[in-house]
């Protein structure tokens, strides 16, 4: 929160790298409203997707492989009084269990980089979207990744086009990259507080991530080879 300043979307209850500006852009780019439905793919605890559902008035179905995260998302939806417009189910990016052409928009926040079979995930997203509907996501395009991380993707466009999408917007976020670097640096500078406030396993995982991306493990500053992107892709009609 300290690293992100006013860009930290506290009301979205996110512990990732989503900014307030990105959330607003995603909500606008989906072009949905009351009476329509969006899918939050890899929703985790649900905060950002719930923010977008409330901002647009659209219904939302959240998909995630973690039942623990989904229970937290359901509890938060109940606290916010939006259980009537959101629902959650245990499923994966490449096998959502949703009907074909059943949603008016889809979003995914900061997790595509970790998916082994991105082609299958994009194909499944295209399957569940109505023709003309939009898939909006944030992620990173990378030329290099630290050892032990999934192979990098330097450009999502070819994968999206192969799945039947047309990329309408590919926006780089240098400000978000700078904030992420500052976040890692503050984390390392205040690791005693991190170890005190989080359980040790989570704290050590976060610290290893910071050291790896800043190049403190092997001398390669991987942040210089990583670009934050916000992508809007429109589902084309079947030929």
In this predicted model, what pLDDT tens digit does every residue of 205-218 receive, in sequence order?
A: 999 999 999 999 99
Q: Domains of the chain: which residue ranges? A: 5-173+228-235
Fold of 5-173+228-235: Rossmann fold (3.40.50)
| 3-state secondary structure at position 35 | coil
Residue 89 near residue 46 (C-beta atoms within 8 A) = no
Pick 189 or 17 by higher pLDDT: 189
> What is the average per-residue pLDDT within 82-89?
95
Pick 174 or 10 by higher pLDDT: 174
* Integer Cα distance of 114 and 16 in angstroms: 14
Q: Is the model's pLDDT at 121 over the cut of 60?
A: yes
Q: What is the share, in percent, of the chain residues with pLDDT greater than 70? A: 93
User: Residue 9: pLDDT band by 50, 70, 90 thresholds?
Assistant: very low
Q: Residues 132-142: pLDDT tens digits? A: 999 999 999 99
How many CB atoms are closer than 10 A to CB 126? 23
> Mean pLDDT score of the chain, rounded to an integer?
91
Q: Is the model's pLDDT at 54 over the cut of 60?
A: yes
User: Residue 7: pLDDT band by 50, 70, 90 thresholds?
Assistant: low
Pick 176 or 77 by higher pLDDT: 77
Pairing of strands 103-109, 226-235: unpaired
Supply the pLDDT for residue 15.
56
> What is the average per-residue pLDDT within 8-13?
46
Q: Residues 90-119: pLDDT tens digits? A: 999 999 999 999 999 999 999 999 998 999
pTM here?
A: 0.90
Put residue 82 in one of left, alpha, beta given phi > 0 → left and psi -120 to 50 → alpha: alpha
Q: Phi and psi (nearest 5°) for 111?
A: -130, -5
Contacts 24+ apart (CB under 8 A), 217-223: 217/146, 218/146, 218/147, 220/144, 220/146, 222/142, 222/144, 222/145, 222/146, 223/177, 223/180, 223/181, 223/184
Residue 56 near residue 32 (C-beta atoms within 8 A) = yes
């Amino acid at each position: 929160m300290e690293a992100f300043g006013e860009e930290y979307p506290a009301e979205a209850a996110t512990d990732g790298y989503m900014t307030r500006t990105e959330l607003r852009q995603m909500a606008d780019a989906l072009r949905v409203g009351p009476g329509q439905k969006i899918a939050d793919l890899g929703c985790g605890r649900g905060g950002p997707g719930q923010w977008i559902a409330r901002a647009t008035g659209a219904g939302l179905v959240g998909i995630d492989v973690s039942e623990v995260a989904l229970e937290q998302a359901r509890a938060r939806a109940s606290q916010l009084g939006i259980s009537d417009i959101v629902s959650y189910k245990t499923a994966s990016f490449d096998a959502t269990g949703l009907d074909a052409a059943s949603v008016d928009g889809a979003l995914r926040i900061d997790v595509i980089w970790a998916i082994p079979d991105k082609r299958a995930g994009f194909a499944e997203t295209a399957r569940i979207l109505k023709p003309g509907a939009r898939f909006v996501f944030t992620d990173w395009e990378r030329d290099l990744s630290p050892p032990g991380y999934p192979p990098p993707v330097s450009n999502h466009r070819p994968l999206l086009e192969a799945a039947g999408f047309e990329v309408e917007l590919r926006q780089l976020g240098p400000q978000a990259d700078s904030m992420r670097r500052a976040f890692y640096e503050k984390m390392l500078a205040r690791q005693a507080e991190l170890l005190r406030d989080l359980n040790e396993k989570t704290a050590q995982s976060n610290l290893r991530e910071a050291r790896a991306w800043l190049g403190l493990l092997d001398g390669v500053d991987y942040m210089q080879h990583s670009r934050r992107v916000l992508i809007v892709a429109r589902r084309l009609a079947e030929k």
